């Protein structure tokens, strides 16, 4: 085989290898969170404040915004139920009229004393839900780097939520 032909075959093989590597990176890119500078997974928990039972869970890559994850999950909540969410859910009033969301301050307009007091009330009501999320994070699988398969993340999270529900019912 002449040397020129052999070189062209080697160049083609290199190009094929580069394409394979690019595809591998693209799979990871979907999970890369620019905020945390890591490849992350995101989970969303809907829980009952009175009983402490986790009602619904949803999962996605860490890149997705909280409110977008809520919209794409298509979770419907009865209009009579009051929903308390954090500031990551701006615009939830369009989907659920009976919802409480803290006010955000801007550079031009700081919060008034009344708005600050209202935000404190909302956050004090959310403490119970934050404690439930903290209870799930006691299982170190979700509080530290997740080293298992991404496909099994939802299954493991649901199993641990079931354990938490069992523990809260006792």
Per-range mean pLDDT, top range of 10-14, 28-32, 38-42, 119-123 = 119-123
Q: Residue ranges per domain, the chain?
A: 32-169
Task: Report the pLDDT value the prediction gives residue 113, as an integer from 0 to 100.
Answer: 94
pLDDT at 114 over 90: yes
Contact status, residue 161 vs residue 138, Cβ threshold 8 Å: no
* Tokens at 139, concatenated: 């299982």
Q: How far apart are the first and last CA of the chain?
A: 77
Name residue 54's beta-bridge partners: 47
* pLDDT, tens digit, 9 for 90 and up, residues 59-98: 877 777 778 878 888 888 888 888 888 888 888 888 888 8
Name residue 45's beta-bridge partners: 57
| Residues with Cβ within 8 Å of residue 61, at least 6 apart in sequence | 30, 31, 40, 41, 42
Q: What is the pTM of this model?
A: 0.68
Residue among 44, 53, 42 at smallest CA distance from 86: 44
Identify the H or E element spanning 87.
none
Greater model confidence, 111 or 3: 111
């Amino acid at each position: 085989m002449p040397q020129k032909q052999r070189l062209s075959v080697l160049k083609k093989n290199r190009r094929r290898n580069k394409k394979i590597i690019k595809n591998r990176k693209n799979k990871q890119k979907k999970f890369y969170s620019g905020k945390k500078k890591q490849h992350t997974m995101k989970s969303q928990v809907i829980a009952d404040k009175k009983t402490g039972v986790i009602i619904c869970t949803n999962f996605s890559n860490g890149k997705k915004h909280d409110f977008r994850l809520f919209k794409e999950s298509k979770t419907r909540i009865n209009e009579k139920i009051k929903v308390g969410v954090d500031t990551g859910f701006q615009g939830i009033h369009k989907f659920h009229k009976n919802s409480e969301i803290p006010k955000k301050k801007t550079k031009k307009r700081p919060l008034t004393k009344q708005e600050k007091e209202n935000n404190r009330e909302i956050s004090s009501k959310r403490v119970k839900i934050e404690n439930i999320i903290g209870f799930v994070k006691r299982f170190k699988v979700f509080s530290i780097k997740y080293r298992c398969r991404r496909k099994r993340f939802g299954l493991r999270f649901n199993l641990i939520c079931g354990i938490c529900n069992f523990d809260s019912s006792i």
